[in-house]
Structure 1
Amino acid sequence: MNQTILEALKNNYFFILYFATFAIALVRYRRYFDSILKYFPIFIGYTILTELLGFMILNFETFQINYSEEYPYANNAIYNIYDLVFFFYFYTIFFKVIKKRKSKTLIKYGALAYVIATVINPFFEDWIIFPQTYALTIGSAVLIMTILLYFRDSKHRIEKNNNLLVWISIGLLVFNLFFPLIMLTALYSTKFYQEFHLRQIHHLLIVVMYGCFIIGFLQMNGKHTTIYEDL
């Protein structure tokens, strides 16, 4: 059992970055506690709990949530729930930050498209067993559009050295540009996915994203950073 845990942790080294980001977010909390990102530490905590539960389901029989004989260790149900929280949390943040009405309208329609995708996707992929690849792809595309709208509409107020939301946006942008492609490849070409070690690339994308989060927290040089000017 100990060997299994050590091997699993070795293959999921990014867990350390989750905990580091959570710790730094709490230490720096007084600098953004009354901003739009005041619930961000809770979101990171939820991410950690989701990953830990997914890890336990995948590696220990006593934590199973799916009793299908063909897929006894399937843990995608908790990640499918997480995806909903993930996308709508960030859609909401950028919707509140962005001021232009046309941009807000685009975000509304994009979020609606994602909702429709989440309703339709289970007809093609079992929601309990498989990741909802098509919904995830649309969700990422909408988030990319939303982030680009934020950069465009706020470019005169953004200072990359100390705006926490900018660094969060950069991390999210990098991750979502590539993650859907990895998931689609896993769905349509398992051989390519394995030969080119796309799972490892996925882990590296997590490292990049959370590395950007950490930089954002560390770059905050005082309470009155530009994150407040954008809100």
Structure 2
Amino acid sequence: MLEIIFSDHYLILYVATIVASILSYKKYFESKLRFLPILLTYILLTEVLGLVIQLDPELNPFITGLYSDYNYIIYYTYSIIFFCYFFYIYWYYTSSKKIKNIIVYGGIAYLIIAIINAYFKSIITERQLFSYTYGSLLLIFSALNFIVENKSNPTLFRRLLFWISTGLITYQSIYFPINIVHSYITQENIDLYYQIAPFHKAAVVVLYSCFIIGFITMKPKIK
């Protein structure tokens, strides 16, 4: 099992992103992005746990028995933490009161939808399609707004949040429709999974490559 886990190229990319975030930490440790290394480490641990559950369902720490090979519950928790963190980041870094209100009320709506979605669709056996799609669209909007607000800033391309936004917009724009398709894949159309999987993998590479570029090229904030 360990050999399979360590041979996963995407986990290596996650580790590389964490290392880059730590090496560049002094550039942004006084900003609201200072918790990024913690979030990235949490994402890595979530992916490792998800892979472990797939390889050996008996090691599932949350579910035993018939559904022990399902890992939806860990991604449900991950999605809430991930979206809420970035909603806060974009709320903080926008200067528009209107946009701040949209993000606040949109974030509250996301949490309500996540709870309702979990009520009607089991977080153990089913994807939380509606809450993820809504959260993804709100995140894309928030990230795009940050870029548009700062488009005239001459140092925009040296800002970490620009590269994070670029990665998030690209990834979420590709993944949320893939997630919808995944939700309707059955044994009868399993070939569809293999057709769209490369697009998901490419989106992951773009996302974390943007993070790494941001950590490397970012300009420290002048005190």
> What TM-score comes out, normalization by structure 1 length?
0.87
1:133 equivalent in alignment to 2:129? yes
- In structure 2, the partner of 1:58 is 54
1:107 equivalent in alignment to 2:103? yes
Residues 173-229 of structure 1: CA deviation (Å, up to 9, x unaligned): 001112111111011244276355323321221111000000111112x4237xx8x
Q: Against the structure 1 CA distance between its residues 137 and 74, is the aligned structure 2 distance closer, same or farther, given a 3 Å change threshold?
A: same
Q: CA RMSD in A?
A: 2.0
Name the CA distance, whole Å, in 2 between partners of 1:208 and 1:53.
23
Write the mapping of 1:35-54 to structure 2, written as runs, cut at 5 A.
35-54=31-50
CA contact (8 A) 2:166 2:210 kept: yes
CA contact (8 A) 1:160 1:167 kept: no
Name the CA distance, whole Å, in 2 between partners of 1:116 and 1:131.
16
CA contact (8 A) 2:58 2:64 kept: no
1:184 equivalent in alignment to 2:180? yes
Write the mapping of 1:32-181 to structure 2, written as runs, cut at 5 A.
32-64=28-60, 65-69=62-66, 71-157=67-153, 159-181=155-177
Deviation (angstroms), 1:8? 5.4
Larger displacement relative to structure 2 (153-162 or 191-200)? 191-200
Q: Secondary structure at the match of 1:99?
A: coil
CA contact (8 A) 2:87 2:103 kept: yes
- In structure 2, the partner of 1:211 is 209
- In structure 1, the partner of 2:221 is 224
Q: Secondary structure at the match of 1:194?
A: helix
Name the CA distance, whole Å, in 2 between partners of 1:200 and 1:154.
33
Q: Against the structure 1 CA distance between its residues 18 and 116, is the aligned structure 2 distance closer, same or farther, given a 3 Å change threshold?
A: same
> What TM-score comes out, normalization by structure 2 length?
0.90
1:197 equivalent in alignment to 2:188? no
Q: Specify every segment of 5 or more residues in structure 2 that has no aligned partner in the other structure, as ranges.
A: none
CA contact (8 A) 1:95 1:104 kept: yes
Deviation (angstroms), 1:68? 4.1
Q: Secondary structure at the match of 2:63?
A: coil
Q: Specify every segment of 5 or more residues in structure 1 that has no aligned partner in the other structure, as ranges.
A: none
Q: Percent identity?
A: 32
Residues 56-97 of structure 1: CA deviation (Å, up to 9, x unaligned): 12212441232242x331111111000000000000001000
